[in-house]
Structure 1
Amino acid sequence: MANTKQARKRARQIVARNMHLSAQRSQYRTAIKAVRKLIVAGDKAAAQEAFVKAQSVIDAMAGKGVLHRNAAARHKSRLSASIKAMA
């Protein structure tokens, strides 16, 4: 348990920040899952539309520091390659 006023405040801030970042990570993961689901279903047009929306979410999370920019680029690249590989 925090012993000083400063430590108690930091503990409160950590809880609030963790909730905020968890929500953002969830939004990012949901966007990726939506694209993957459409890729597995074989709907290329819908997958492409979902990918455009997911790209926006991924870039936003990278910009906010929730996700490293290289990891964001890797996710976008792999999703794009999966869509292009669809018949």
Structure 2
Amino acid sequence: MANTLQAKKRIRSNARRALVNKARKSRIRTFVKNVELALESGNAEEAQVALKAAQPELMRGVTKGVMHKKTASRKVSRLAKRVKALAVSA
């Protein structure tokens, strides 16, 4: 258990940050899921729009420290590759 005032404050602030980070991760997952649903439906235009919305959200997660830069880049790259493949096949 924390003994110092600063340690107690860090516990409180960490709990607040955890809630914010959890909400941000959930929002990112929702945007990624929207891209995947558009890909499954086979609608290339809808998938492109969803990808354009998901990209900044993923990168915002990087700037806020929720995920690593390379993780976000990898996710964007894989989604873009799938969207492009769908557009070419359509």
Q: Say yes or no: TM over 0.5.
A: yes
Aligned residues: percent identity? 38
- Cα distance in structure 2, aligned partners of 1:12 and 1:63: 23
| Residue of structure 2 in register with 1:25 after alignment | 25
Distance in 2 separating the partners of 1:5 and 1:67: 30
- The RMSD of aligned alpha carbons is 1.0
Offset from partner CA, 1:9-33 (integer Å, 9 cap, x none)? 1111111010010011111111100
Aligned residues: 87
For residue 73 of structure 1, what is the amino acid of its counterpart? S
Shift of 1:5: 1.8
Letter in 1 for 2:14: I
How is 1:1-87 mapped onto 2 (pairs within 5 angstroms)? 1-86=1-86, 87=89
Q: TM-score, normalised by structure 2?
A: 0.90
- Structure 1 segments, 4+ long, off by >2 Å, are 1-4
* Partner secondary structure for residue 82 of structure 2: helix
